[in-house]
Structure 1
Amino acid sequence: MYLEERRRLLLEQVRRLGRVDVATAAAELDVTTETVRKDLVHLERQGFVTRTHGGAIPVQRLGFEPVNAVRESVMNPEKLRIAAAAVAELPEEGAVLIDSGTTAALVPRFMSTDSHLRVVTNSLHIMNALAAFPNITLMHLGGVFRPVSQSTVGPWAVDALRELRIDVAFVGANGFSVDHGLTTSDQSEAECKRAIVKASRRSIALLDHSKIGAEYFHRFASPADIDGIVTDSGIDADLLEDLQETIDHVVIA
């Protein structure tokens, strides 16, 4: 097993179970406990976990989240597949909203330059990516700039969303569970995402499989509030079954 693959598996486990035990992980991965400890040191330096006695827990459980640059390096092949599949959910014309988030930021790569859409976003990445599309009317939500997500949030963004009617919105989240819905670790992000869902006729969540089953502090949408989820084929079979029983429209990329 390659080093990066092993670390990815450790990160998935700590997110899914809420902690990872060094001795157990070493036995499951057939490596020494010292190897697992070094992996966890690396993941801690990257901002994903906090080491504890005998293991580690997700840093998000403590109310923090990795910066955008760190999150962009995780699950990138899966996020690319999700973004490519998400484009099929876009209407031929009308108003769409692309939320901030590392998966949503990849959507413009797969959009046609001939698209005639009005695109609303609070993401600087989306603004930059779509600025050269000649037929797109691009609108940015105002608000307080949040460096960790490279997005704008706060009352200005929420007030603007109350006046809009969006045909399709792509929404990001830190986690989704069938019991609790879509969640994130920051209150201002949650308020903005809640307003996005309310403003949209169809809300599609773009979530890589590591986020399915995870729960974070702030809920912004229940399962009934969203119309679909696009995820990747790495999702656990049992979680996928629960997901398909809860959400009418599930796309596996």
Structure 2
Amino acid sequence: MSLTFEDRRMTILYHLEMEGKVHVHHLSKLLSVSTETVRRDLDRLEKEGKLRKVYGGAVKMRIEHVEPPFLKRTQMMKKEKSSIGKLAASLIEDGETIMVDNGTTTIEILPYLRDRTDITLITHSVPVLNLAMETFRGTIIFAGGEVNPEYQATTGSLTDQLLDQFKVNKAFISVGGISLVDGITDFHLAEANISRKMMQRAEESIVLADHSKFGLSTFARVSRLEEISMLVTDTGCSKEWVDTMEALGIEVRISE
């Protein structure tokens, strides 16, 4: 029995959510319909605002094509980011050394470390550094180098060389997108390089991402999905994504 448009719609949107993009010929084989039918389906879904057609297929519709400024991002998904930060902070044991990269989700760890004196924090993020100096009572190491005013962080070879001097227990990594095809990505190449270095220098790499990041691919790859140890996200993350990540051997923690 042939599939209805609603059946095909669900399948197309599922693969779009999981992979960030779909291809006409793959969908044609998967749905056992002609490529012309797939293209008509994609036309309808584009008119609904569910996707954007590109050559050979379609990509997930994104609200932002470039990363908003840091201060604006602090107001986006604020409740979810705070709950993710709280759960992430609970994973840190006394005596551990952690690396925290430059993100509006990773910075939410800091309010929950106020009374933790036996922790060493390493960061290249100016906002994380400023908040840590105000509220954190443990040891702070700033990975210095050339300060990029746009990113509000240090990047480049000096920062990379300094991070190479450490081996830490946990690295907490922010993301621009999470995709089955492209893995963990960021908007900026320099930031992606620093996040990747932090992962290399940590025993555990923990990605913090609210549900809006899933199915998206941004400019620069940080790592393959299989290279992360744990994902901390919020209740808006779909069961399909949770199951997929766990099938890859990644522990998933859901914040309240």
Could you tell me the TM-score, scaled by structure 1's length? 0.74
User: What is the identity, as a one-letter code, of the residue corresponding to 2:86?
Assistant: A
Work out whether 1:117 is the aligned partner of 2:119.
yes
Shift of 1:133: 4.8
Distance 2:249 2:62 in 1: 27
Distance 2:135 2:172 in 1: 19
SS in 2 for 1:159: helix
Distance 1:134 1:77 in 2: 21
RMSD: 2.6
Contact 1:101 1:149 (C-alpha < 8 Å) held by counterparts: no
Contact 2:143 2:159 (C-alpha < 8 Å) held by counterparts: yes
Contact 1:104 1:170 (C-alpha < 8 Å) held by counterparts: yes
User: What is the identity, as a one-letter code, of the residue corresponding to 1:227?
Assistant: S
Match of 2:155 in 1: 153
Shift of 1:78: 0.6
Paired-residue identity, %: 24
Which structure 2 residues correspond to residues 1-80 of structure 1 after superposition, within 5 A?
A: 24-25=48-49, 58=62, 61=65, 64-80=66-82
Shift of 1:187: 1.0
User: What is the identity, as a one-letter code, of the residue corresponding to 2:98?
Assistant: V
SS in 2 for 1:96: strand
Distance 2:244 2:238 in 1: 10
Contact 2:122 2:143 (C-alpha < 8 Å) held by counterparts: yes
Contact 2:199 2:205 (C-alpha < 8 Å) held by counterparts: yes
Which structure 2 residues correspond to residues 126-145 of structure 1 after superposition, within 5 A?
A: 126-133=128-135, 135-145=137-147
Instruction: Point out where structure 1 has 5 or more consecutive residues left out of the alignment.
Output: 1-14, 29-55
Q: CA separation of 1:68/1:134 partners in 2, compared to 1, >3 Å: closer, same or farther?
A: closer
SS in 2 for 1:216: coil
Contact 2:228 2:250 (C-alpha < 8 Å) held by counterparts: no
Distance 2:89 2:153 in 1: 21
Work out whether 1:101 is the aligned partner of 2:103.
yes
Distance 1:138 1:234 in 2: 33
Distance 2:143 2:210 in 1: 25
SS in 2 for 1:131: helix
Match of 2:215 in 1: 213
Report Cα offsets for 1:139-172 as digits up to 9, x if no partner.
Answer: 1111222333321111111111111101111111
Instruction: Point out where structure 2 has 5 or more consecutive residues left out of the alignment.
Output: 1-15, 22-41, 51-59
SS in 2 for 1:145: strand
Contact 1:186 1:218 (C-alpha < 8 Å) held by counterparts: yes
Work out whether 1:201 is the aligned partner of 2:203.
yes
Distance 2:138 2:111 in 1: 14
Match of 1:52 in 2: none
Which structure 2 residues correspond to residues 230-245 of structure 1 after superposition, within 5 A?
A: 230-245=232-247
**Mean Cα displacement is larger for which, 242-251 or 229-238?**
242-251
SS in 1 for 2:197: helix
Contact 2:113 2:136 (C-alpha < 8 Å) held by counterparts: no
Distance 1:149 1:102 in 2: 12
Structure 1 runs, 4 residues or longer, greater than 3 Å off = 15-23, 56-61, 132-135
Contact 1:59 1:65 (C-alpha < 8 Å) held by counterparts: no
- Equivalent of 2:176, from 169, 174, 178? 174
Q: CA separation of 1:60/1:147 partners in 2, compared to 1, >3 Å: closer, same or farther?
A: farther
Q: CA separation of 1:195/1:134 partners in 2, compared to 1, >3 Å: closer, same or farther?
A: closer
